[in-house]
Amino acid sequence: MDDLIQEFIAETRETLDALASELVLWEQNPHDTALLDNIFRFVHTVKGSCGFLNLPRFERLSHAAEDVLAQVRDGKREASAALVDAVLGIIDRIGELIVVMESGEPLPDGSDADLIAALDRRANTAGPAAHVATNPANDTGSAARRQAAIRSIRVPLDLIDHLMNGVSDMVLARNEVARCLRDDQNGPVLENAFDRLSSCIADMRDAIGQTRMQRIERIFSPLPRLVRDLCADLGKQVDLRTSGSDVELDREMIEMIRDPLTHIIRNAIDHGLESPVARSLAGKPSAGRLSISARQSGNQILIEIADDGRGIDVDKLVARAQAAKVRTASEIHALSERARLELIFAPGLSTADQVTAISGRGVGMDVVRSNIERIGGSIDLENHPGKGLRVILRVPLTLTIIPCLTVRAGGQEFAMPRSAIREILFDNNDQVRIQQVGGRDLAYIRGECLPHVALETLLGLEPTAEPAARHRTIITVNASSELRYALAVEAVIDHEELVVRPGAPVIMADGLYAGTTLPDNGRPMLLLDPLGLANRAQLNEFARVEEAMQGDGPDAAEIDGGSALMFREAAGMLRLITLTAVERVEDVEAVRLALAGGQVRLSIDGESRPVFGLDQLPQSGHAKLLHLSDGTRHVLYAVDDVIDIVRLPAKVEPASQPGLVGGIALLDDEQIEVIDPHWVFSHMIGPAPSAERPACCLIGTDDPWTRNILAPLVSAAGYRPVFAGTHGGQDIDAAISIIVGDAADTPPSLRGEIIRLRDTLSSGGQDADTIYRYDRAALLGRLINGRTGASGT
């Protein structure tokens, strides 16, 4: 019986979650019979189950709601706003009772007569039975939806973890076999069999990893209800749009971002969006727009919450900060525009004029930020005063697999999350100056002053006695957006993606470690917590001074073309690259570089990647590399040295020829070439392999002109030419089709865009889709348009 009740609780909860958005839709559109059917089905199921499980209170509630809904369905009553409210009241009560049951407490005494009476009272005052429009299309739609529901079973998390452990064991066993295979010379048959086994195990690991994933829908679906209730309380109108609810996230991650997301939405509706009257005065539609979207970018999930309200009033925020003594006037004066906006994250600050029940008590954005940062994420604001605010949350895809840097200190290896690392350099670099000031070590790196600590000191390890000639490596760490420091380690070993598990409570207690991991060598490794290290080094009180020094100054925005990194090429000239393309700068030892296949390649993350800008191995024993990233792919760019970070002027003169140099920037009357990152990526990664390109169907006689002259042009425009003969083409999923020659017929059912090539300049029947076969510009134009159109959909 207990099992049945547990099942009932779980099922009712899940349906309630899924139903929340439908309830709101139904309120807006009470005549939608498909929605009504869904709600009716819910109360009907609850009623059926609780009669069986002997839960009279649930039964009374659901029975009353079912009666009323049945009347609406039969057209005997109209779904008035009052009736909708009463039904929502009942469903809410069911939800509350479920929560009580789940906690194992006895159901509280109380009658639901008030709610049930509310339904009936409306029955008396309701007018004559109104005609409810029924639309047969809706009925079939709901039937289809019912069938589309994915069949699923509930599996205990323990079991999945057990499976995951099993697979991890398999991976380790495979690695050991791989080592044995490498040692002995074995035949290719064995190797092939082993490769097949490897790929099976990899598939298996991915599949089990996915069982932990859940659609973000789980937190999106209750939002319409939340927004509706807030609007009702605050007298505002909100047009809520969500997108990307099919994005998947780790189950635990979903739980971790639920509260921060809710908080940001509350803020947006309470403070951001104006009242309908104020909105129409400002020339905006009376319903405020709130859009929430999720998407995946590389190994991060981006969640954007954008409203078209009044945005953050930075001046008011600054005044509040001063009044609340969060910052002194001189500190605030030194802050950049961006840092002022980020005062919103300071504890104890709010821009709300009135404290309401919803928000405005000044506990909030600081907690939101620390919660997001705790799971390795970040939060950004884009403020447009008077026009709206966009909040961007970035969270890692899973909690368990983290890209890490492995470092050595005191003879022991540690992992450090790569997201916190800005730059890796050797301490004999010209741009690093380490100096003791007032008993604390400071590192000056290109003019920026950072507190400098050695990892061995923090962990209480003995520094390994080593030849004085060997240099140490300095990692600059972003522990949080306000706290940076330089961490000295013995050496950086590798970049790896590591499966991280929480450590035992006794180990996690002092905050230095974020977890444990087991790399391929089978020796356990500790994952360092960058913020915990900073706390251990007592760097917190140091941070505020830093921030003022890093501020861009008030006039920085005037020449804004973004920041750029100035560096010296191996050949000696200075060049610039936009800073957003540079993920980090790293000094690598020459032993990790190898000359292979005519390219210099770096071994990194267990793979070999080509390095741009080096045609021979460096003589000096190490090389400085820029890690360029477009979010998913990485390119390494070798430089002689990094000089400075500068502001790019708003106007960059474009280069005459496409190539490595995309433009010329004028900095203090000096002309400096600016690298075109797009060219570097396209050069290093190459165009999409031919299988991934859209197909272009060539229809007509298979003559030498088509094959030798047209096809290469089509390939150059980024297509995969497919020869279809005179009548083919229907069964090829082509993005674009070219019909060659006046004589060829147009096949009856062609998908995509069609271009017809005519043989001569002056044939009749001219229309926009017919192009002379040597009108190269027009033909290429059409092809390129077709491609951007295809990739845009």
Chain contacts with another protein (rule: CB under 8 A): 165, 168-169, 171-172, 410, 412, 458-461, 501-507, 509-510, 512-513, 516-518, 522-526
Shortest Cβ 520–another protein spacing (Å) = 11
Q: Side chain identity at 333, as an amino acid letter?
A: H
In angstroms, what is the minimal distance from the CB of 458 to another protein?
Answer: 8
Distance in Å, CB of 199 to another protein, minimum: 19
Count of CB atoms situated within 10 Å of the CB of 207: 11
- Shortest CB 647 distance to another protein, Å: 42
In angstroms, give the least distance from the CB of 522 to another protein.
5
CB nearer another protein, residue 157 or residue 716 = 157
Q: How far is the CB of 426 from another protein (least distance, A)?
A: 24
Do the Cβ atoms of 312 and 344 come closer than 8 Å? yes
SS3 for 219?
helix
Question: Which residues lie closer than 8 Å to 204 by C-beta, 6 or more apart?
Answer: 167, 170
Check if the beta carbon of residue 696 is closer than 8 Å to that of residue 722.
Answer: yes
**Shortest Cβ distance from residue 36 to another protein (Å)?**
45
Task: Give residue for tokens 């470690």.
Answer: 513
CB of 498 to another protein, least distance (A): 11
Nearest distance from residue 516's CB to another protein, in Å? 4
169 three-class SS = helix
Helices and strands counted in the chain (H then E): 24, 35
Residue 410 vs 789, nearer CB to another protein: 410
Specify which residues 306 forms β-bridges with.
291, 390
Separation between Cα atoms, residue 474 and residue 428, nearest integer Å: 10
Nearer to another protein, 193 or 202 (CB): 202
Nearest residue (CB) to another protein, 170 versus 667: 170
Distance CA 788, CA 136 (A): 39
Distance CA 769, CA 772 (A): 10
351 or 517, CB closer to another protein? 517
Of the pair 458, 667, the CB lying nearest another protein is at 458
Closest CA to 351 of 321, 331, 371, 326: 321
Shortest CB 628 distance to another protein, Å? 34
Amino acid at 533: L
Measured from the Cβ of residue 395, the count of other Cβ atoms closer than 10 Å reads: 24
Nearer to another protein, 171 or 667 (CB): 171
25 closest CA partner among 68, 84, 70, 73 = 84
- DSSP structural state of residue 126: S
From first CA to last CA, the distance across the chain in angstroms is 52
> Around Cβ 637, how many Cβ atoms within 10 Å?
23
Which H or E run includes 493?
strand 491-501
CA distances from 446 to 282, 397, 472, 638 (A): 47, 34, 18, 19
Residue (160 or 171) nearer to another protein, CB: 171
Closest CB to another protein among 166 and 658?
166
* CA distances to 244, 292, 306, 547, 679 from 792, in Å: 17, 21, 23, 41, 21
Contact 652, 667 (CB under 8 A): no
Output the six-digit token pair for 468. 């004085």
Give the nearer residue to another protein in terms of CB position, either 4 or 172: 172
* Strand residue runs (E) in 224-273: 238-243, 248-250
Give least dist CB 408 to another protein, A.
Answer: 13
Minimal distance, residue 228 CB to another protein, in Å: 39
* Whole-angstrom distance, CA of residue 224 vs CA of residue 303: 17
Instruction: Indicate the residue among 318 and 525 with the shorter CB distance to another protein.
Output: 525
To another protein, the closest distance from the beta carbon of 198 in angstroms equals 16
Pick between residue 323 and residue 506 the one whose CB is nearest to another protein.
Answer: 506
Closest approach of Cβ 440 to another protein, in Å? 20
Q: How many CB atoms lie within 10 A of CB 115?
A: 18
Task: Give Cα 93 distance to the centre of its chain.
Answer: 36
Considering beta carbons, is residue 49 or 398 the nearer one to another protein? Answer: 398
Q: Cα–Cα distance between 79 and 122 in angstroms, integer?
A: 10
739, 726 in Cβ contact below 8 A? no
Of 180 and 545, the one with the shorter C-beta distance to another protein is 180
